[in-house]
Amino acid sequence: MTMAQKRLIPRLLQLALVVLGVYFSFILVFDVLLGQLIPKSLLTMYMVFVVSGVVMVFTFTEEGTQELVGPIKALVEDPSKKMLRNVVFVIVPLLAGYYTYTSMLPSFEAPMELRTIHPAPPSKFKAFGKSYNLTTLENPYRKFQKDDPAKFRELVKAGGDVYIKNCQYCHGDKLDGKGPYASGLNPTPLNFQDVGTIAQLQESFLFWRIATGGPGLPAEAAPWISSMPVWQNFLTEDEIWKVILYLYDYTGRQPRSWAHE
CB of 169 to ligand HEC, least distance (A): 5
CA distance 12 to 148: 86
Cβ contact 248:254 at 8 Å: yes
CB of 102 to ligand HEC, least distance (A): 36
| Other beta carbons within 10 Å of 234 | 13
Cβ contact 256:201 at 8 Å: yes
Closer to ligand HEC at the Cβ: 127 or 167? 167
CA distance 157 to 152: 9
Closer to ligand HEC at the Cβ: 145 or 202? 202
CB of 171 to ligand HEC, least distance (A): 5
CA distance 176 to 197: 11
Closer to ligand HEC at the Cβ: 15 or 179? 179
Whether omega before 93 lies within 30 degrees of 0, making that bond cis, reads no
Residue 178, Cα to own-chain centre: how many angstroms?
A: 28
CB of 14 to ligand HEC, least distance (A): 58
Closer to ligand HEC at the Cβ: 15 or 170? 170
Closer to ligand HEC at the Cβ: 113 or 147? 113
CA distance 196 to 205: 14
CA distance 139 to 243: 11
Closer to ligand HEC at the Cβ: 73 or 126? 126
CB of 215 to ligand HEC, least distance (A): 9
CB of 113 to ligand HEC, least distance (A): 15
Cβ contact 81:87 at 8 Å: no
Q: Name which of 139, 151, 114, 115 is nearest 206 in CA terms.
A: 139
Q: Which residues here bind ligand HEC, judged by CB under 6 A?
A: 118, 166-167, 169-171, 181, 185, 187, 189-190, 197-198, 201, 206, 209-210, 214, 217, 226-229, 231, 243
Contacts of 51 (CB under 8 A, 6+ apart): 19
Closer to ligand HEC at the Cβ: 7 or 126? 126
CB of 189 to ligand HEC, least distance (A): 4
